[in-house]
Structure 1
């Protein structure tokens, strides 16, 4: 008959063996992610070259003071309005159709260019010139757009009054 096993010997690794295995695992991870690590190092070099890394270090070293200043600035009454206005602006942009906004900005940009050109020449338009320009299809389109805009804005303002 066999003898019962009463004592089990566990082989324990020495600290040196554990460290060796840990280093081997880290080296394997580095080898597996070589490209990512190289990209990260390039990014860090660029941040260092531009001084951003130094700014971040300074920011982290003085984070309590910076946080305190930020809280003080946010607690000013004007900041509450800025935050509310920003949120309202984001809401407005979310409601707008992108194609319509693009068309309006394109027209605005072209109009600003034309206005800048006429400001350079300092050309004055008399009453006869104004009457003549009303026959221009571009001016009529713009005036029609502005009248419709004013009508829609008035409609929106009146709806706000009733709510």
Structure 2
């Protein structure tokens, strides 16, 4: 029967041995992946020829000035207005049921396709045709939707007027 192992001695590498081992690993990795290494060198050479590294170096040196310019530009009224519009629009879109926007989007697409079919036919719509179009259930549905939309929009605009905002 063998003697049980009671202690494990871990071989500690010296700094020189550790450095040598890492160099050997790197050397074998470069040898195995030489095509990738060559591509990297080719890309960096092309970037250097194009002056990209010089531009990056200049940007790093001027980082404080660039940060100052960026902050000044971000603080301009058109930029802050754009940010406020984006936040307001995202709030509105987030509040709308996605099924509703999908249905409206599909309806708009279908309406544009239908309008494109008859766009250049040269036909002028008479007042009687316009009145008759109200009898078409599809047209009537779209007109009613538009009127309901305008009514809801008007109600919201009226709230602002009553509170003294407009």
**Superposition TM-score, scaled by structure 2 size:** 0.63
Counterpart in 2 of 1:99? 99
Question: How far, CA to CA, are the matches of 1:128 and 1:26 in structure 2?
Answer: 85
Shift of 1:161: 3.2
Counterpart in 2 of 1:5? none
How many residues align? The count is: 138
Question: How far, CA to CA, are the matches of 2:101 and 2:139 in structure 1?
Answer: 20
Counterpart in 2 of 1:77? 77
Question: How far, CA to CA, are the matches of 1:128 and 1:55 in structure 2?
Answer: 69
Shift of 1:58: 7.1
1:160 aligns with 2:160: yes
CA deviation profile, 1:4-35 (whole Å, cap 9, x unmatched) = xxxxxxx98543212135457889xx8xxxxx
Give the gaps of 5 or more residues in structure 2: 1-10, 30-35
Question: How far, CA to CA, are the matches of 1:55 and 1:157 in structure 2?
Answer: 56
Alignment of 1:39-118 (within 5 A): 60-61=56-57, 62=59, 64=63, 67-118=67-118
Question: Residues 139 and 55 (structure 1 numbering): CA distance in 2 closer, same or farther, change over 3 Å?
Answer: farther
CA RMSD of aligned residues (A): 3.8
Q: Secondary structure of the residue that 1:16 maps to in structure 2?
A: helix
Q: Secondary structure of the residue that 2:124 maps to in structure 1?
A: coil
Shift of 1:126: 0.9
Question: Residues 113 and 55 (structure 1 numbering): CA distance in 2 closer, same or farther, change over 3 Å?
Answer: farther
**Superposition TM-score, scaled by structure 1 size:** 0.64
Shift of 1:100: 0.3
Deviates more, 1:135-144 or 1:56-65: 56-65
Question: How far, CA to CA, are the matches of 2:123 and 2:158 in structure 1?
Answer: 39
Larger helix fraction of residues: 1
Q: Secondary structure of the residue that 2:120 maps to in structure 1?
A: helix
